């Protein structure tokens, strides 16, 4: 009997960072995992797609963490392929570049005397009369920056990302992602500069695999294989069967439309919670189905453009705050790793569009999307549309779990019900409806396997603060 014919000790649904980390941890502890991945390749949202030799991230993916076990897994898997990349990312607004977190002098200089005075007045007003009901993202930022800076540097971009007005986004999201940043702290830093108190390498540089994040996940896939586990791509889990107390088996559909039943003593899922609940057989009670169906997501389209010019901009990525273009962020992949761009006489950029599946952005035909992105690059003054050699459109459903005002209530309903299935755990970004990064998803994978091994671990208790270390230090807002 070969390794791949041995019975599975664990079925893992999804071959993204959470699922592969769980599979690897179980394989190295003697529990044979079978990973079932619907997509063509592993990596989930952190995969790297290859078109004509050019490599595209689904948005750029930095590798940063404060968690030693995550860092060592990256290092031992990638070895010398994990490189340090210089970091630069700025806001591009009205043809000017702004550091983020905002640098006071640069902001005032770029805005000019009239807008700057208005910004300072509005900030002073917000400090003197803060909104005492700080419930929304808008309240939270306005209290710390004033309305004028909120309108210029937060509103448009945030609404592009989430597709809902800032007053409908919970303050908790701002508190998690922007941390203790305020215009006041920026002014204090400008007047009394303090040394950055984080390790410099984490702030000015970040780790990144030579061939993009997908390289990490493809190499981990190989390691799982060599430990006796199996990772099956193009195999989607369509049904999750249970007897009310435990999951008995899953049904998969492969790319050749073959259905297979897969049994195992333990199951871990990283699929989105709404998909999971819809695929449970028998269906759970109506209130559970209703709670899952009420969770919202934001979808994402990356338009990769290969431009016959170099040196378009120095940043790894730019935030685009102008309301007159639809693009929200632009990656410059050669600045992440030159090896992503096979022809050094060209640039490869990723134009990021945030949308909802089925809307006019999501459904734009590929050729029209490439035209739109090329026009917008020219409109922003970064390159001529005529310099675009070719483009590719990559659609990513459920890129972001949405923290709307109701999500917590729905999530709690699911979280209370799911433990009824004793041998089943749901982990990862969409598996827990948590806006996390790779390292946090990986930690949920480790916790789930440790729990199977009888340790007192709980993926729901993974502390996001541990993995948001860099945000705490640098006080950035990112998506
Ligand atoms: C634009 C953008 C930029 C980002 N930048 C960074 C960054 O700089 N650094 C960072 O660390 N993180 C970043 N992230 C976050 C990172 O992508 C996620 O944290 C990570 O991919 C989550 O891993 P996961 O395994 O939890 O989920 P996913 O990556 O979503 O993986 C889930 C997998 O499950 C599969 N699946 C789903 N349903 C089924 C099914 N029914 N059957 C079989 N397979 C199924 C999917 O195909 C997918 O491969 C970014 C995310 C986005 C959207």
Model confidence at 85, in pLDDT bands (50, 70, 90)? very high
Give pLDDT, residue 40.
96
Task: Decide if 206 contacts 10 (C-beta within 8 A).
Answer: no
Across residues 254-279, what is the average pLDDT? 96
The mean of the pLDDT values for the chain is 90
Ligand 1 centroid distance, CA of 171 (Å): 24
pLDDT over threshold 90, residue 1: no
Model confidence at 255, in pLDDT bands (50, 70, 90)? confident
> If one looks up domain 3-46+211-295+404-462 in CATH, what number appears?
3.50.50.60
Task: Decide if 253 contacts 429 (C-beta within 8 A).
Answer: no
> Domain 297-401, CATH 3.20.20.70 — does that match?
no
Max mean pLDDT range (165-179, 202-216, 351-365): 351-365
Closest residue by CA, ligand 1 atom 34: 14
449 close to ligand 1 (CB < 6 Angstrom): no
pLDDT over threshold 60, residue 224: yes
Model confidence at 5, in pLDDT bands (50, 70, 90)? low
Domain boundaries, the chain: 3-46+211-295+404-462, 100-198+470-474, 297-401
Across residues 302-329, what is the average pLDDT? 95
Max mean pLDDT range (123-127, 135-139, 146-150, 343-347): 343-347
Ligand 1 centroid distance, CA of 270 (Å): 9
Task: Decide if 101 contacts 476 (C-beta within 8 A).
Answer: yes
More confident: 470 or 328:
328
13 close to ligand 1 (CB < 6 Angstrom): yes
Closest residue by CA, ligand 1 atom 29: 44
45 close to ligand 1 (CB < 6 Angstrom): yes
Q: What are the b/e assignments for 146-166, b being 16+ CB within 10 Å?
A: bbbbbbbbbbbbbbbbbbbeb
Closest ligand 1 atom to residue 396 Cα is 53
300 close to ligand 1 (CB < 6 Angstrom): yes
22 close to ligand 1 (CB < 6 Angstrom): no
Task: Decide if 46 contacts 18 (C-beta within 8 A).
Answer: no
Closest ligand 1 atom to residue 440 Cα is 19
Task: Decide if 347 contacts 332 (C-beta within 8 A).
Answer: yes
Least confident of 161-170, 280-289, 332-341, 445-454: 161-170
Least confident of 131-135, 195-199, 215-219: 195-199
Model confidence at 428, in pLDDT bands (50, 70, 90)? very high
Please identify which residue in the block is written with the tokens 């041998």.
423
Give the model confidence (pLDDT) of 11-49 as tens digits. 999 999 999 999 999 999 999 999 999 999 999 999 999
Model confidence at 379, in pLDDT bands (50, 70, 90)? very high
Give the model confidence (pLDDT) of 104-121 as tens digits. 888 888 888 898 899 889
Ligand 1 centroid distance, CA of 42 (Å): 10
429 close to ligand 1 (CB < 6 Angstrom): yes
Across residues 82-94, what is the average pLDDT? 92
Give the model confidence (pLDDT) of 49-66 as tens digits. 999 999 999 999 999 998
Model confidence at 102, in pLDDT bands (50, 70, 90)? confident
Give pLDDT, residue 133.
84
Give pLDDT, residue 190.
61
Q: Examine residue 101 and say whether the peptide bond preceding it is cis (omega within 30 degrees of 0).
A: yes
46 close to ligand 1 (CB < 6 Angstrom): yes
The residue among 330, 364, 366, 361 whose CA lies nearest residue 348 is: 330
59 close to ligand 1 (CB < 6 Angstrom): yes
Across residues 219-223, what is the average pLDDT? 98
Q: Examine residue 167 and say whether the peptide bond preceding it is cis (omega within 30 degrees of 0).
A: no
Across residues 308-316, what is the average pLDDT? 96
């Amino acid at each position: 009997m070969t390794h791949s014919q041995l019975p599975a000790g664990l079925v893992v649904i999804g071959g993204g960072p959470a699922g592969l980390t769980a599979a690897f941890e179980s394989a190295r502890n003697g529990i044979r995992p079978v990973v079932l991945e619907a997509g063509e390749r592993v990596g989930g949202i952190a995969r790297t797609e290859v078109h004509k030799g050019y490599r595209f991230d689904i948005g750029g993916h930095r590798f940063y963490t404060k968690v030693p076990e995550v860092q060592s897994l990256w290092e031992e898997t990638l070895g010398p392929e994990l490189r340090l990349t210089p970091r630069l990312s700025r806001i591009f607004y009205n043809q000017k570049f702004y550091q983020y977190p905002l640098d006071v002098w640069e902001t005032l200089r770029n805005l000019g005397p009239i807008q700057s005075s208005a910004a300072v007045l509005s900030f002073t007003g917000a400090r003197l009369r803060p909104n005492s009901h700080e419930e929304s993202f808008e309240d939270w930022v306005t209290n710390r920056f004033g309305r004028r800076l909120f309108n210029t540097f937060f509103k448009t971009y945030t609404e592009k990302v989430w597709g809902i007005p800032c007053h409908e986004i919970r303050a908790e999201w701002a508190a998690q992602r922007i941390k203790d940043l305020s215009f006041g702290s920026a002014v204090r830093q400008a007047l009394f500069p303090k040394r950055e108190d984080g390790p410099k390498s984490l702030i000015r540089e970040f780790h990144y695999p030579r061939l993009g994040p997908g390289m990490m996940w493809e190499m981990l896939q190989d390691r799982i294989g060599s430990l006796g586990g199996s990772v099956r791509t193009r195999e989607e889990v369509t049904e999750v069967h249970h007897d009310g107390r435990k999951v008995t088996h899953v049904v998969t559909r492969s790319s050749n439309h073959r259905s297979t039943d897969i049994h195992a003593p333990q199951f871990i899922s990283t699929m989105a919670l709404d998909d999971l609940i819809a695929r449970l057989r028998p269906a759970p009670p109506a209130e559970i189905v209703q709670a899952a169906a009420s969770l919202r997501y934001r979808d994402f389209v990356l338009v990769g453009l290969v431009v016959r010019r170099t040196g378009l901009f120095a940043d790894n990525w730019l935030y685009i705050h102008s309301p007159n273009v639809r693009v929200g962020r632009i990656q410059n992949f050669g600045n992440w790793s030159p090896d992503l761009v096979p022809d050094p006489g060209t640039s490869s950029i990723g134009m990021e569009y945030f949308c909802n599946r089925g809307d006019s952005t999501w459904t734009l035909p590929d050729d029209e999307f490439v035209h739109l992105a090329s026009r917008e690059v020219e409109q922003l003054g970064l390159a001529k549309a005529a310099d675009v050699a070719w483009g590719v459109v990559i659609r990513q459903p459920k890129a972001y779990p949405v923290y709307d005002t109701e999500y917590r209530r729905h999530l709690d309903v699911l979280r209370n019900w799911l433990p009824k299935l004793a041998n089943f755990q749901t982990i990862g970004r969409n598996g827990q409806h948590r806006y996390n990064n790779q390292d946090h998803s990986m930690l949920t994978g480790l916790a789930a396997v440790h729990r199977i091994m009888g340790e007192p671990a709980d993926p729901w208790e993974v502390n996001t603060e541990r993995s948001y270390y860099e945000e705490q230090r640098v006080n950035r807002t990112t998506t």
